[in-house]
Structure formats: structure tokens, C-alpha cells
Structure 1
Amino acid sequence: MNDATRPPIRAAVRPGHVVRLNDVTGDALDQLVDQVAPDLPVILDYRGPDDRSAHAVASEVLDALELILIALFPSWLPGGAPGQLWDVSDAQSAARELCSSSRLSPAVTVELARSAAAGTRPRRHPAAELRATGLVDLLRHAYGRPDVVLAIRASGDLSADAQHAAVTACEWLAYHGRLTVWLTDDALPAVERVPVLRLRSTAADIQQDATASQTAITEPAHTETTPPVLSVSRPTGAPAPHSAAEQALEASLSRQRWAQDRRWNRAPDDLDPLTPSIIVDLMWTAERIVVEVDGADHRRPGKYARDRARDNMLQRHGYLVLRYTNEQVLADADLVAAELREMIEARHTDDDHPTGSREHQWTTRS
């Protein structure tokens, strides 16, 4: 993202408030969510409002946020790192230690650590207001960023009553989560009480810059055509917490010692400095292998063309680009991992990694 876009985006961050961003569409949000810049707010992209009560809308957001934080576990614990396995009692102790040294809610954090380590959902929740505050604060801590934005897209076909219920839920979440709610230009059009921020140039810059420099959000849902209810900004160095496919692949790779040098959601640091920055889903730097996990949206003409341009640029710099669909990964993540191992072995040179010693090392450690 170029420097010109940053100040207007910061001006649109107004914790505790709901605002409509004029001329910012869902496509622009797709690109913004996919960026990993640490000076951007954490973006939650919510696609769920439908014909239901305000309480149901707010509950759906909090339930989905809870799942995202479980997927990010244990990276938000002291000493935690993606892929680590934690004993339940150790996770609870670490969570209590974290809360004692911060303002995080023990009622939320300790229970979430216990359930994440046990592989279950939380058995109990505090009052809804405390739950909203605690979950959003934990998300801030997990990303190390002070601001959280909940971006709302909703069908204009919703009844006026449903639209007003959705914005009531947004106002409640903004207040208790101390976050900013953005409505895209076309979301909840029947609601007129929301102030409008006219950011025409910012929207165009977001779209143009992000399209040139980032991959789009991978659809991680159970079927190829169903996007997640709630997506979140990609964390640097970890798989996307809302992506079932990336999570499944990471679960398989985390059991393999040969895969320990993998890097999730990072930019190759050896590209031509004059080329746009590229964030890749997964890579092995030494072997110059890039892996992309693609949803159905990558078959759309515009995105398909951008993917080919990215692949060509990476290939010119010596990277081998491997693409898998969500369905391929979810059907058999271990098979995908086995194929990646074969490709990594094939990329080793005799000078850097003598075949016998490298293979012996992997065989004895795997």
C-alpha cells in the first residue's frame, strides 16, 4: 500500500462508531483484508447479516470471532507459536499469566485457552458485553495492533427491518468491542442514520495498490463456493485462521520435521525492489518454492490473469510456484504435503545439500 492511502484509512478508524465508506466496495475490502501491513487495523470481514434479530447477528459475529481466535492459538499465549501442541493445564496457566500482565479478560482468555488446547469450543461464556470486549481485546493482542475494524457487507434485498436490526447489532459491537464498524457503500442502504465518509481517492488507491501487490482472500469454507461468515486479516507467519484449507495443510506440515522451514503469508525478500510487493500463502525460501491455496474466486478472469502475472514474476526470480485448490487440500492434506516434500527434495542441489545426508536427516527426524 502506498503512503498516500495510509492517512485516510487511519481517519476512517473511529472506535465505538459505525460509519459508511463512500465508494468502498466489497472488492476493495477483499484486497485490504489480504494485506499483512502491521500499521493497518485488523480487519474483520463479515458477510453474514440476513433476516434475523440484532441479538442473533451480534452472536454470530462473536461465535465466528471465537473460532478465529481458537485457530490462532497458541500464538497469543506467552511463548506460543503456530503449530505447537499445548497441554490443557499449561495453556490455562499461561493464559492466567498473560491476563495478570495485561488488561485481558481472564473469563474469556483462560476459557478460550483451555478449550483451544483441548480441541473443543468453550463450555461457558461471560455476559455478552464482557465477551465482546474480551474477544476483541484478545484479537488486538494476537495481532499486536491497537485497532480493529468490522467491515459489513449485506444484501440490499434485506427488508428494512432486517437492515435496521443489523445496524443495531453493529452499534452494539462497536460500543462494547471498542472497534470501528465500516459499512461498504452498498451495504444496508435503508439505514440512513450512519454517517458517511467520502473517501473516493482512498477507495481507488486501496483497490489499485492492493490488486497489484497482494493475493486475494482464499475461500476456506466447506464447499468451494461458500465464503466464510467472518474473515480476518492474514497474520504474518501463520496460516489464515479463517481458512480451513490452510489450517488443514498446516496441521499436516506441523507433524513433519522436513517442513520446519516453511513460512506462511510472507513476502519473498529477494525480489527486484522496483516490483510490487507480493504476499504468498506459503513458501520455502532456501528451496525457492511458493505454494498457493486457491478458492473458487481464483478462476474468475480478472483474478486468474493477476495470478498468472504474479506466477510469471516469481518464476523469473527462480521460484517454483505450486497451486492447489481448497478442495485438493481438504480432501487429502497429507497427500499435498507428500507432494511438497518431493518437490523440495528435487530442488536441493548436490553442492548445498548432499543427497545422502539430507535424506538421512529427514528420514530419521520425520
Structure 2
Amino acid sequence: MSIRPSTLDAAVRSGHVLRVDDVDGLALSDLLDSVSAELPVFLDHRGPTDRTAREVVREILDALEDIVGALFPVWLAGHESGLPIDADDAEEMARALCRDAGFPSPAVVHLTRAAAGARRPGSGPADDARAGALTFLLKRGYGRDSVVLAVRADAALPERAQHAAAAAYEWLADHANLTVWLTADALPAVTRVPAIRIGVSGGRRPSPSRPVDVPDDPSPASAAPVLVVSRPSGRPAPHSVAEQTLERALASAPWARDRQWNRSPRDLDPLTPAVIVDLLWATERVVVEVDGADHRGPVKYARDRRRDNMLQRAGYLVLRYTNDHVLDDTALVVAELAAAVAERTRAPSRPTPARPPSTREEHPWTTPS
């Protein structure tokens, strides 16, 4: 799927809610899969349910705080140091960061101490201050200039709830300094929102009654999180409990030191679409995918099989685990990965098919299929 940069620029307007008529659930998933630094940070809100505007705001802010916390300390130190940061040192760094950026410090300090494991007693910042601070830190964590909160919702949501959700998104656009996109079928009763198109090609309209590729009756452990965020190159997805759990288990394993999260194998045929994989050992040619419940839907299932076939033809071993599998038996998953990496390390090098040398870099306006 490709996007023209000029039309995307026009669709990123902090403080505004827009309906993007040519973005459906599948197109949004492709945008989230991109690791291009030229794109905004995308947040995918698969909701809301029948709730008040205040409840929708709180739900999104709480989920965003979890995501920002998982990105600590990158947004504070500018890199992943690998060493714990003392809460008092982290607070001092946060105050210096705010002084340099000209950003109010109290909410940022509160969030920093919480991420460092030393939240101060008493009430936290007001929602408006917390919203602005969370977006500020999210942009720093990704090194990007803007944030888009994209919404896909059940079209059968009661009209009262649709208008309550729209009020919540308007509040978030204003106080969190971000752009809200209503995808093609989200909140159809809300007609006051300006409609635009961004030139997406290759998408597929979802069913009008439900978002694309959400399976029937997902188990509680595998149900989609409140917010899904763009892939961070080199790190596990901050919204994925399964990926975060697996990374913690691998961090102390010497055999796993060459792992790469959310990267593209560099030796694929340059004529194939860009592919970003969850976890990669490049030298051993081992790929690991950690799948949520949405990968059981027919569209993503078919796309996953095409990706697997392409990677296997290029000599990669592709291992797939569900979120439930990783969370229920992390030790077994780690043992299987250790065995696979060791086996591929011992195996003689395999000749790879001859192909023209690749000079392709990930194009900032191309997302993986």
C-alpha cells in the first residue's frame, strides 16, 4: 500500500478530528506496521464501546500511559541504555528535558517517576496536563513530529454512544495535541467531521458491522489491547504484553544477544514488498512472529501465509507463536528459540538464490504488505 506524501501531510492537523474516507481497518494495519520515521506515530483505537465521553478519554489516556511507560527510558535518555535509571536521576533528566523543550514539567516528572518505578504518593496530574505530556513523550520515544489517533468502531454502536465518543475524540485532539482520524466506517452518525481522502491504494472495505479481521469470541488473554501503536524499530511493540514478556526473558540470555525487534531482513529480493518481522536473528536466518487474535481472521491469515512462504524461499526459518502461547509458557518458547538459533548456528551455510544486489531502503511512503 502506498501513500502520496502531500496528501498525508494535509491529513495530519493537530487539534482536529477528520474522517478519512479511504482508510479502512486493513489500510490502518499497514500504516501501523511501517517503521518509517517520515510517518506520524499511529495509535489504533479499536473502540469505543457504549460509554460516556469521560470514560472514553480515561480509557485512552490510561492505555497511552502504559505505552509510554513501556518506551522508558528511550524518550528520556534518547537511547536504550540497558541499565536501570534511579528515579531521582530520572526526575532530574526529565526537568532538564522540559527546560530544553520549553514544555511544562510537572506532568512529565510524574510520568517519569512512575516509569522508573517510584510514583509519588497523592493524585496525579489533571487529564488535560497528562494528555499533553503523554503525546510529548510518545513523539520523543519515536523521534517523530506528530501523532495520529485512528479510530475504527462497530457501526452498530448506539447513536448516543457515537456522539459521546466523538466528543471524547474532540477533547483528545485539542488537549493531547494530536490528529484524530475516523476510519471509513467509524461513527457513521457523526456527520459534523470534515471528510478527506489520502490516496490509499490496495485497501479493502471492512464489513459494515465490525472491524476487519477481528475473530469471533477472542479469549480474554488474546483480546486486542485498547490501543495499538506503530512498530518501534529495534524494540518490542510497547502495546504488546506478549512481546514485552518475551523480551524480558531474552534480555539475560547470552545466546539471544543478536536479536533484532521489528526490523526488515536486508537480503530479500529487492522486487518483493518490504517486510517488517517481529523478531529476527539475521545471521542464523531465524524469524519469530508473535500473533494477536486478529491474525486468526481470514485476511491477515492469508497475508501471513504469503509472507511466510516468501521468507522460507529466501532461507529463513519462520516460527509463529500466539500471544497466549508466549504468556502461558514463556520458558518453553524461549527454549524452542534457543534450540532453533543453536541449530541454525551449527548448520553449514546455505547457498542463497542468485539475485541482483539490493540497494533498496525502506521508502518512507511504502508500508509492508
| TM-score interval (norm. to shorter) | 0.7 to 0.9
Query: Does residue 89 of structure 2 align to residue 90 of structure 1?
Result: yes
Unaligned runs of 5+ in 2: 206-212, 350-369
The 2-side partners of 1:106 and 1:222 are apart by 40
| TM-score (normalised: structure 1) | 0.85
| Matched-pair contact (CA < 8 Å) for 1:111–1:122 | no
Query: Does residue 225 of structure 2 align to residue 239 of structure 1?
Result: no
For 1:1-366, list aligned pairs within 5 A: 2=2, 4-78=3-77, 80-81=79-80, 84-118=83-117, 124-199=123-198, 202-205=199-202, 223=220, 225-349=222-346
The 1-side partners of 2:18 and 2:185 are apart by 12
Q: 1:104 to 1:341 in 2, by over 3 A?
A: farther
Q: 1:286 to 1:171 in 2, by over 3 A?
A: same
Secondary structure at the residue paired with 2:201?
helix
How far off its partner does 1:182 sit?
A: 0.5
Amino acid at match of 1:321: V
Which deviates more from structure 2 when the two are superposed, residues 39-48 or residues 222-231? 222-231
Number of the residue aligned with 1:362: none
The 1-side partners of 2:146 and 2:231 are apart by 15
The 2-side partners of 1:18 and 1:79 are apart by 31
Secondary structure at the residue paired with 2:27?
helix
Structure 1 residues 108-155: Cα deviation after superposition (integer angstroms, max 9, x where no partner) = 222222112218798642222221111111111111111111111222
Which deviates more from structure 2 when the two are superposed, residues 119-128 or residues 252-261? 119-128
How far off its partner does 1:240 sit?
A: 0.6
| Matched-pair contact (CA < 8 Å) for 2:222–2:323 | no
Q: 1:126 to 1:229 in 2, by over 3 A?
A: same
Which deviates more from structure 2 when the two are superposed, residues 310-319 or residues 133-142? 310-319
The 1-side partners of 2:241 and 2:167 are apart by 30
The 2-side partners of 1:139 and 1:105 are apart by 15
How far off its partner does 1:313 sit?
A: 1.4
| Matched-pair contact (CA < 8 Å) for 1:69–1:139 | yes
The 2-side partners of 1:299 and 1:119 are apart by 39
How far off its partner does 1:206 sit?
A: 5.7
| Matched-pair contact (CA < 8 Å) for 1:45–1:152 | yes
Number of the residue aligned with 2:209: none
- Bigger helix fraction: 1
Higher RCO by CA contacts (8 Å cutoff, separation 6 or greater): 2
Aligned identity (percent) is: 55
How far off its partner does 1:14 sit?
A: 1.3
Q: 1:346 to 1:80 in 2, by over 3 A?
A: same
Amino acid at match of 2:44: D
The 2-side partners of 1:79 and 1:165 are apart by 38
Number of the residue aligned with 1:213: none
Secondary structure at the residue paired with 1:132?
helix
Amino acid at match of 1:266: R
| Matched-pair contact (CA < 8 Å) for 1:5–1:205 | no
Q: 1:120 to 1:271 in 2, by over 3 A?
A: farther
Secondary structure at the residue paired with 1:203?
coil
| TM-score (normalised: structure 2) | 0.84
Aligned CA RMSD, in angstroms, stands at: 2.5
Q: 1:50 to 1:181 in 2, by over 3 A?
A: same
Amino acid at match of 1:233: S
The 1-side partners of 2:272 and 2:152 are apart by 32
The 2-side partners of 1:308 and 1:162 are apart by 38
Amino acid at match of 1:315: Q
Secondary structure at the residue paired with 1:173?
helix
Alignment length, in residue pairs? 339
The 1-side partners of 2:244 and 2:312 are apart by 26
| Matched-pair contact (CA < 8 Å) for 1:104–1:138 | no
How far off its partner does 1:207 sit?
A: 6.2
How far off its partner does 1:342 sit?
A: 1.5
Q: 1:254 to 1:25 in 2, by over 3 A?
A: same
Q: 1:257 to 1:104 in 2, by over 3 A?
A: farther
Q: 1:188 to 1:302 in 2, by over 3 A?
A: closer
Q: 1:96 to 1:258 in 2, by over 3 A?
A: farther
Which deviates more from structure 2 when the two are superposed, residues 80-89 or residues 128-137? 80-89
How far off its partner does 1:205 sit?
A: 4.2
The 1-side partners of 2:88 and 2:203 are apart by 44
Q: 1:261 to 1:145 in 2, by over 3 A?
A: same
The 2-side partners of 1:11 and 1:320 are apart by 41
